[in-house]
């Protein structure tokens, strides 16, 4: 039986760990995506509150079309994700977050 191919790692991993200024941060990130940068966004701790159904009228589900490779949320007990999260969101646990930090070539933190 063949294993599914792992999701390619992004060029950049952006980590948002607080709710304040998240609108401006998402604006900047989506702007970078329009220039062809392969990026992922990981929301942890209070940064999770920045996740809503849309940003500036753009549904979160459209972020991949705009160039955001992955939208991840670090949750405690990721096996039982919050049913409020959009389907396109990938939930990760603390072990997976540590693995990402070790493997991604560049992590940017505001």
Q: What is the pLDDT of residue 106?
A: 59
- Domains of the chain in start order, with CATH, are 15-108 (3.40.1260)
Q: What is the pLDDT of residue 28?
A: 84
Q: What is the mean pLDDT of each run of 10 residues along the chain (110 residues)?
A: 53 73 80 81 73 76 80 62 65 81 63
DSSP for 7-61, please give it: PPPPSEEEEE--STTHHHHHHHHHHHHHTT--EEEEE-GGGGGG--SEETTEEGG
Q: What is the pLDDT of residue 80?
A: 44
Q: Are strands 107-108 and 54-55 parallel, antiparallel or unpaired?
A: unpaired
Contact 42, 69 (CB under 8 A): no
Q: What is the pLDDT of residue 7?
A: 54
pTM over 0.85: no
Q: What is the pLDDT of residue 98?
A: 80
């Amino acid at each position: 039986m063949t294993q599914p191919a792992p999701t390619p790692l992004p060029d950049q991993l952006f980590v948002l760990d607080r709710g304040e200024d998240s609108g401006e941060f998402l604006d900047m990130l989506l702007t970078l995506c329009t220039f062809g940068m392969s990026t992922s966004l990981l929301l942890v701790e209070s940064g999770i509150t920045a996740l809503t159904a849309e940003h500036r009228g753009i549904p979160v589900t459209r972020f991949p079309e705009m160039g955001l490779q992955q939208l991840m949320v670090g949750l405690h007990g990721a096996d039982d994700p919050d049913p409020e999260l959009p389907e396109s969101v990938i939930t990760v646990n603390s072990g997976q977050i540590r693995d990402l930090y070790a493997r991604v070539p560049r992590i940017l933190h505001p």
